[in-house]
Amino acid sequence: MKKQAYKKWILFFLSTVLLLSCSEDYLKNPQNGNTKNPTTENYNDALLSVSYTMTTSRDYDTGSTKIAGLNLALLNPSSEKQEITMALFEDGQMDIIIEEKSFTEKTNVQHQILPDPFPKIVKTVITGNTIKFYDVSGKLLNTENIPIPNHSELVKTIKEIGSKSSPEKINEVITSMQGHQLIGNLEEFIKDLEDNILLQKSSSGSPITIIEQGENYVTLRMPLNNIEQAMNQESVLLIDKTLNKIVGTRIYDQNNQLLQSTFFGYNTGEVKSLNAIKTTQKLQLPSGDEVDMISYSKIDDMQFNLNL
């Protein structure tokens, strides 16, 4: 169950977190992270690498659903700390390592916890279109295929700017990654949508539409096959016009059923970098009952390496 949640989370994670966290003011501030040394030695040749720690508390909301005892025992509140490293290479491939770190905080539960018959996943490695799960001893538990979008156009943009621009201009380009062809220039993008210029955003021909627009926020609906053609879900994006950042998303399946809601929080000072995520995700139990899994994540120690 946790592995499937990982896969769904990673697909959404790829299209948001790296792009949301790369901000010009963050990179320019020397007190925010180390811009020289990548966290993972194998990523020395990466064009761009990002690493950070994420502390997550997870709980479950059963609503009015009556859950049988054995299924209820699966819904144990938990807390964990992970170190996440992402690397973007010149061929457009993005690799990710998610590694669980020791965390002493315990969660008090009011029922007996059943022993877990499955080995605990402590490390997840994504390379190309392959995801691998490892236990605490480094033993490979499972390997699966996962559709990962290629970012070759993003690489091309970074390298073109890097060949003829100052570090300040390069940082400006990294800032434009925050929406990855969604909010590079928000005002112009919205105007193009209103003028029906962007009815075909990708080869799939799926339109991006404005649902609602106010003075401070705009809500867009975007088929996720604009990111990866194999995906048939749709995402609703809530964008803060003042921050020029995505502050919330919802993902719907092809039957328009809500699968996941995510809200993003940012530092309020001069450096408005991503620092918190709240996710509510539908989870199906072995009994067939559905519950909401709610995760609260805090992001710290973000570090960047740009290798041009």
Angle 204-205-208 (CA atoms, 0-180°, nearest 5)?
A: 110
Tell me the pLDDT tens digit for each residue of 191-223.
Answer: 766 665 554 444 444 577 888 888 889 898 888
Tell me the pLDDT tens digit for each residue of 31-69.
Answer: 343 333 333 566 778 888 888 898 989 898 888 778 877
CB atoms within 10 A of CB 140: 11
Give yes or no for a contact between 94 and 71, defined as CB atoms under 8 angstroms apart: no
254, burial (CB in 10 Å: exposed 0-12, middle 13-18, buried 19+): exposed
pTM score over 0.75: no
As for how many domains the chain has, the answer is 1
For position 110, what pLDDT does the model report? 56
Q: For all residues of the chain together, what is the average pLDDT? A: 72
pLDDT band at 103 (very low <50, low <70, confident <90, very high): low
Tell me the pLDDT tens digit for each residue of 272-298.
Answer: 677 888 999 988 888 888 889 999 999
For position 294, what pLDDT does the model report? 93
- Which domain, by its residues, includes 273? 2-306
Q: Which residue has the higher pLDDT, 67 or 87?
A: 87
For position 196, what pLDDT does the model report? 59
